Amino acid sequence: MTMRSEALTMTKDGRLSAMKARFFGPTARQKLLAFASLVLLLIFFSFASPVFMQIDNILGILQSTAVNGVLAIACTFVIITGGIDLSVGTLMTFCAVMAGVFLTYWELPMWIGVVAAIATGALSGVVSGTLIAKMKIPPFIATLGMMMLLKGLSLVVSGTRPIYFNNTENFPMISQDSLIGLALPNLPIPNAVLILFALAALASVVLNRTALGRYTFALGSNEEAVRLSGVNVDRWKIAIYGLGGSICGVAGLLIASRLNSAQPALGQGYELEAIAAVVIGGTSLSGGAGTILGTIIGAFIMSVLTNGLRILSVAQEWQTVVTGVIIILAVYADILRRRKV
């Protein structure tokens, strides 16, 4: 007990320097770099094509960022602990399928479907966390196993067919409708984007202002030191994976609402895009450093790039090449920054 409070006081003392680090430290520099790249991309594409900056296209970019952005937030927590979660994509799908089971098969009210999707995510995250913390299975393997398991379960539960949300009239509202559009009819930003930003703000608070957030960083910096100072490392780890899982539940709702269906075969490959967004945003794969804002910028870099190349009608093979180059550059920039420190 005393040891724990000591650890907490130490963090408090360190808050001033932490503030400094936030604005001038290496993470901030990487964030600036990511932000500058995003601005450069935006400028480049708006000069290259007159349609890029049109409101319809901007709305399209925002909409297409929502799901990857939310998944990337889930990954950010886990990656800061020095772990990895490969199951986020298929977990998202499984949560969507469970929402379908509750809403379409059992015809329950919409809020129950929403709760069910998030609870499914949290539960699955807790399972992953337990595999990693208690059974000592390396995160890569544990979540790889979960990725396949959940992919299979989605197909089993849905009977390999998409589940349509035709009985739940308001379901498309979650993602497709626009609350902002009611006030500003010319700017119908889809709700999915509001949910992304609200979730990002919330996640940022959790990461920077709560014990859970502090332990997320601490586990990634030096897990052994945290353990030696008397903290129940296993419990916090399970909680962090559980949090990541519940965020995947939100992603599941967003994609299901957008497609007005739970597509059971979808999801694999989405984890790598989410991890790419996290890494571009300056979160270190070796753990201990990272920000939600960086991740969101990373997610936007990915979607702006994809959309912009599409608008320019760049051949699809080349689009993939360019995206790969950007990811490598982002990680290289991270390494350069580290060398300087």
Partner 1 sequence: MLNRRQFSAAVGVCAILVMSGAARADDIYIPLISKGFQHQFWQAVKAGAEQAAKEGNAKISFEGPETEAMVDKQIDMLSADLAKHPNAIGFAALDSKAAIPLLKKAQAEHIPVIAFDSGVDSDIPLTTCTTDNLAAAGLAADKMAEMIGDAGEVAVIVHDQTSRTGIDRRDGFLNEMKAKHPNVKIVSVQYGAGDHLKSAEIAKAMIQANPNLKGIFGANEGSAEGAAIGVKESGKKLVLIGYDSGKEQKEAIISGAMAGAITQNPVGIGKCVVESALKALKGEKLPKVIDTGFYWYDKSNITDPKVAAVLYD
Q: Give me the residues that bind partner 1 (CB under 8 A), please.
A: 32-33, 36-37, 40, 44, 48-49, 51, 54, 56-57, 60, 63-64, 67, 160-162, 164, 176, 255, 258-261, 263-269, 306-307, 309-316, 318, 321-322, 325-326, 329, 333, 336
Q: How far is the CB of 74 from partner 1 (least distance, A)?
A: 17
Q: How far is the CB of 169 from partner 1 (least distance, A)?
A: 15
Q: How far is the CB of 92 from partner 1 (least distance, A)?
A: 11
Residue 245 to residue 237: CA distance in whole angstroms? 12
Q: CA 56 → CA 28, 38, 45, 310, 315, distances in Å?
A: 32, 19, 15, 14, 22
> Which residue number, 51 or 179, has a Cβ lying nearer to partner 1?
51
Cβ atoms of 96 and 206 closer than 8 Å: no
162: phi > 0 → left, psi -120 to 50 → alpha, else beta; which?
Answer: beta
Sequence-ordered list of residues with C-beta below 8 angstroms from that of 97, at least 6 positions apart, any chain: 153, 154, 157, 158, 163, 262, 264
Residue 242 to residue 255: CA distance in whole angstroms? 20
> Which residue number, 64 or 124, has a Cβ lying nearer to partner 1?
64
The token duo for 28 is 């901030």
The token duo for 1 is 């007990």
Q: How far is the CB of 61 from partner 1 (least distance, A)?
A: 9
Q: How far is the CB of 222 from partner 1 (least distance, A)?
A: 31
Cβ atoms of 79 and 57 closer than 8 Å: no
Q: How far is the CB of 132 from partner 1 (least distance, A)?
A: 27
Alpha helices in 51-190, H assignment, sequence order? 55-80, 88-100, 110-133, 139-158, 179-183
3-class SS at 267?
coil
> Which residue number, 216 or 307, has a Cβ lying nearer to partner 1?
307
> Which residue number, 32 or 108, has a Cβ lying nearer to partner 1?
32
Q: How far is the CB of 249 from partner 1 (least distance, A)?
A: 17
User: 110-133 and 88-100 are packed helices; what angle lies between their axes, rounded to 10 degrees?
Assistant: 150
CA-closest candidate to residue 168, choices 260, 246, 241: 260
> Which residue number, 231 or 255, has a Cβ lying nearer to partner 1?
255
Q: How far is the CB of 185 from partner 1 (least distance, A)?
A: 16
> Which residue number, 126 or 259, has a Cβ lying nearer to partner 1?
259
List of long-range contacts for 109-115, beta carbons under 8 Å, 24+ apart: 110/168, 110/170, 110/171, 113/168, 113/171, 114/174, 114/253
> Which residue number, 214 or 310, has a Cβ lying nearer to partner 1?
310
> Which residue number, 59 or 212, has a Cβ lying nearer to partner 1?
59
Cβ atoms of 144 and 275 closer than 8 Å: no
CA-closest candidate to residue 259, choices 267, 269, 268: 267
Q: How far is the CB of 250 from partner 1 (least distance, A)?
A: 15
> Which residue number, 1 or 341, has a Cβ lying nearer to partner 1?
341
